């Protein structure tokens, strides 16, 4: 999953709010679109600071994406489609896959067809709610975005420096410096190889 793309899209639409408010369905909401804090429903008049909201967002996002990626049909999709579905899950709830109210999207995900998934996302706008229409369009665009494959970085060789006069000298004790010494050292090194296990 492209985690960064998913988080960016979610936060684009949720936007941080320190004071609780009613969402488009009249549900008290706070922070980054959270309707619960530690399993308790948000109530009107509640406040949250940015640090607590960020922590709550991370916990919620991780829970939702863990649930989403536990579905084999979702795991086989490309990272951009997974990110789009993560945004959808954050907005619509973690248990949409297989639910009768989300039969069209579930069938599209099972098919593995990216275009079909993108088209299905557009059906879930609560009767044409303007904000949800825009969100579903952005999720569909993300799902259809080509995946940037990275095959590894190009590693430049370290710059070569000219050898110093000392480095240009033939090493002593090698076959090149002193043939007898090189032979003795070579024989000694070979015997060490055979003796040590």
Residue range 4-40, pLDDT digits in tens: 999 999 999 999 999 999 988 899 999 999 999 999 9
pLDDT in the model for residue 166: 54
User: Which CATH number describes the domain made up of 3-144?
Assistant: 1.10.530.40
Cα distance between residue 154 and residue 116, in whole Å: 36
Residue range 79-135, pLDDT digits in tens: 999 999 999 999 999 999 999 999 999 999 999 999 999 999 999 998 889 999 999
Residue range 143-189, pLDDT digits in tens: 999 987 665 543 333 333 455 555 455 444 444 444 444 434 444 44
- For the chain, the structural domain boundaries read 3-144, 171-195
């Amino acid at each position: 999953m492209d985690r960064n793309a998913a988080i960016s899209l979610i936060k684009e639409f949720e936007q941080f709010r320190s004071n609780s408010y009613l969402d488009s369905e009249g549900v008290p909401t706070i922070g980054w679109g959270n309707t619960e804090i530690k399993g308790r429903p948000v109530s009107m008049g509640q406040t949250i600071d940015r640090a607590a909201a960020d922590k709550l967002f991370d916990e919620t996002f991780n829970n939702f994406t863990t649930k989403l990626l536990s579905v084999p049909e979702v795991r086989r999709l490309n990272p951009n489609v997974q990110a789009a579905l993560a945004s959808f899950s954050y907005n619509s709830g973690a248990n949409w896959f297989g639910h009768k109210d989300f039969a069209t999207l579930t069938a599209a995900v099972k098919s593995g067809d990216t275009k079909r998934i993108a088209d299905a996302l557009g059906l879930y706008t609560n009767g044409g709610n303007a904000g949800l229409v825009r969100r579903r369009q952005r999720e569909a665009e993300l799902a259809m975005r080509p995946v940037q494959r990275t095959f590894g970085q190009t590693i430049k060789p370290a710059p070569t420096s000219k050898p110093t006069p000392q480095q240009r000298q033939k090493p002593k004790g090698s076959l090149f410096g002193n043939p007898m010494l090189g032979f003795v050292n070579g024989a000694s090194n070979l015997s060490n190889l055979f003796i040590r296990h």
